[in-house]
């Protein structure tokens, strides 16, 4: 039975109210080649076991990262997830809980968010963190808009080493807010912090830089932070691989004003690219401009420890058009998985995990650099780095995939019109990367480049 409560007259009245003539007008910003021009070719009905068989056959066509040697990263990382973390988030009180609209009743949810915020603040080196956002890309956009509100300026400078998806999401958000997005351009060989420092002026609201960047390079951002602050601008640091903070100097220590990050690496699987987990932390003096929600600790009338929703600047609550963000969720279950995993690791375990990632990446870099036709171009990296191949990278990676090896991410997929990256490939190693996997990649790559 179809349930369509609106009449044609209802629809026309709604369209007239928002100022468009037809429903199709709502999709005018979607590229024409992305729109369907006919119904999807699906059978009208199938039996349950037939559907299971069809879906199973489709799934079997995938080359899963856990079933073959995988060196894919670029913002989505395969790490070990403790069985206890997966088990705990499936408890019904966590799995089925919803956004607490009467928050003080939901003490367990608030405590989990409070602990999560504390962990994020500690590892980023910042004073306060919110209760998470959608993912790293939306956290980046929110950080950019927050910086413009704080400085009352409209110009944001985006590093060429920032993940292109983050750049796109930030630019999309800025477009309708009359914010000026300056893309510094892609150059894997230059000193990115020094280049960005030279672009800062008195109109700049913020500089947004990723560390480690898209090419895997690790940089000290202290001098860039000083340059930003001297001009009255803010430094926004993006962390795409959160495990790196177990080994690297935190953004807070380097002078960051806002940190936005992707938290997928802790407690959350690849999941074909989502759902993910956006982290955002900042200095306490900017608290009122921070998007999302903030859980706080207090005491009740009997003096017992309790938790409250201290700050809620989302439009979904009371602020409506005055909200600092239109994001209406905090990816609560993903945040809980993150928090459980990090709690299980502890400070020592988190550091050890980071060092293991780096050690495996160093070993892999040494093996690949010894291959004729392969050059590791990074002078610094954490657990991923860029290699230059003697042939265009994309067909080489496709050849490796045909031999059941996920060899990395050709950078031409992010920059299809940039000939300077045609031969570049981003390669990642984590704690799950075995030496026999590295040897398989080395052997297959040698053959593909011969």
Q: Helix/strand/coil (H, E, C) string of 314-367?
A: EHHHHHHHHCCECCCCCCHHHHHHHHHHHHHHHHHHHHHHHHHHHHHHHHHHHH
Nearest of 170, 94, 183, 93 to residue 135 by alpha carbon: 170
Task: Check residue 109 and report its DSSP letter.
Answer: H
Report whether 342 contacts 122 (CB < 8 A): no
In this predicted structure, which of 202-211, 324-333, 439-448 has the lowest mean pLDDT? 324-333
User: Does the pLDDT of residue 329 top 80, yes or no?
Assistant: no
Pick the CATH number of 83-342 from 3.40.640.10, 3.30.565.10, 3.40.50.300, 2.30.130.10: 3.40.640.10
- Tally Cβ neighbours within 10 Å of residue 171: 16
User: Would the pLDDT of 317 be above 80?
Assistant: no
Length of the chain equals 450
Q: Does the structure show a pLDDT above 80 at 3?
A: no
The pLDDT, as a whole number, for residue 102 is 72
How far, in Å, are 72, 137, 260, 344 from residue 77 at the CA level? 7, 15, 17, 19
Q: Of 165-174, 321-330, 357-366, give the lowest mean pLDDT range.
A: 321-330
Residues of the chain with CATH 3.90.1150.10: 346-449
Fold of 346-449: 3.90.1150
pLDDT digits (tens, 9 = 90+) for 86-100: 999 999 888 887 766
CB 186 within 8 A of CB 415: yes
Exposure letters 53-79 (e unless 16+ CB within 10 A, then b): eeeeeeeeeeeebeeebbbbbbbbbbb
Report the C-alpha gap between 307 and 335 in whole angstroms.
17
What pLDDT score was predicted for residue 2? 67
Which one has a higher pLDDT value, 330 or 407? 407
- 28: Cα separation from own chain's centroid: 28
Quick check: pTM over 0.85?
yes
Q: Please name which of 288, 179, 174, 159 lies closest in space to residue 235, comparing C-alpha atoms.
A: 159
All CATH 3.40.640.10 domain ranges of the chain, comma separated, are: 83-342
What pLDDT is stored for residue 339 in this prediction?
97
pLDDT 10s digits, 220-275: 999 999 999 999 999 999 999 999 999 999 999 999 999 999 999 999 999 888 89
- Predicted confidence (pLDDT) at residue 323 exceeds the cutoff of 80: no
Three-class DSSP category at 102: coil
Determine the average pLDDT of the residues in 13-34.
Answer: 91
Spatial CA neighbour of 423 closest among 410, 441, 440, 404: 410
CB neighbourhood size of 169 (10 A): 21
């Amino acid at each position: 039975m179809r349930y369509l409560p609106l009449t044609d007259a209802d629809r026309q009245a709604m369209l007239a109210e928002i100022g468009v003539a037809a429903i199709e007008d709502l999709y005018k910003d979607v590229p024409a080649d992305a729109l369907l021009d006919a119904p999807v070719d699906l059978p009208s009905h199938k039996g349950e076991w037939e559907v299971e068989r069809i879906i199973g056959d489709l799934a079997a066509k995938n080359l899963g990262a856990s079933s073959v040697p995988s060196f894919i990263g670029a913002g989505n990382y395969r790490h070990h997830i403790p069985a206890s973390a997966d088990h705990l988030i499936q408890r019904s009180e966590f799995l089925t809980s919803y956004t607490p609209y009467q928050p003080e009743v939901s003490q367990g949810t608030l405590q989990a968010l409070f602990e999560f915020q504390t962990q994020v603040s500690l590892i980023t080196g910042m004073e306060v963190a919110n209760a998470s956002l959608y993912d790293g890309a939306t956290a980046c956009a929110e950080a950019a808009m927050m910086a413009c509100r704080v400085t009352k300026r409209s110009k944001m400078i985006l590093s060429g080493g920032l993940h292109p998806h983050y750049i796109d999401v930030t630019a999309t958000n800025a477009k309708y807010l009359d914010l000026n997005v300056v893309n510094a351009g892609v150059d894997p060989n230059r000193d990115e912090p020094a280049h960005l420092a030279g672009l800062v002026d008195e109109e700049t609201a913020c500089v947004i830089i990723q560390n480690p960047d898209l090419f895997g390079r690790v940089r000290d951002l202290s001098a860039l932070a000083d340059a930003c602050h001297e001009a009255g601008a803010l430094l926004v640091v993006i962390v795409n691989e959160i495990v790196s903070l177990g080994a690297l100097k935190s953004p807070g220590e380097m002078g960051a004003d806002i940190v936005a990050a992707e938290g997928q690496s802790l407690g959350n699987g690849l999941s074909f690219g989502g759902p993910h987990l956006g982290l955002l932390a900042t200095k306490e003096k900017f608290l009122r401009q921070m998007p999302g929600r903030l859980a706080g600790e207090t005491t009740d009338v009997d003096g017992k420890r309790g938790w409250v929703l201290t700050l809620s600047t989302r439009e979904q609550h009371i602020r409506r058009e005055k909200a600092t963000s239109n994001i209406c969720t905090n990816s609560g279950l993903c945040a809980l998985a993150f928090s459980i995993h990090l709690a299980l690791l502890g400070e020592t375990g988190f550091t050890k995990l980071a060092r293991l990632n780096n050690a495996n990446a160093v070993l892999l870099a040494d093996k690949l650099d010894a291959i004729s036709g392969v050059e590791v171009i990074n002078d610094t990296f954490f657990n991923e780095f860029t290699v230059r191949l003697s042939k265009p990278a994309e067909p080489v990676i496709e050849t490796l995939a045909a031999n059941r090896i996920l060899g990395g991410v050709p950078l031409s997929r992010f920059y299809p019109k940039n000939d300077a990256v045609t031969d570049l490939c981003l390669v990642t190693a984590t704690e799950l990367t075995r030496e026999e996997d590295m040897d398989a990649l080395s052997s297959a790559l040698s053959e593909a480049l011969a």
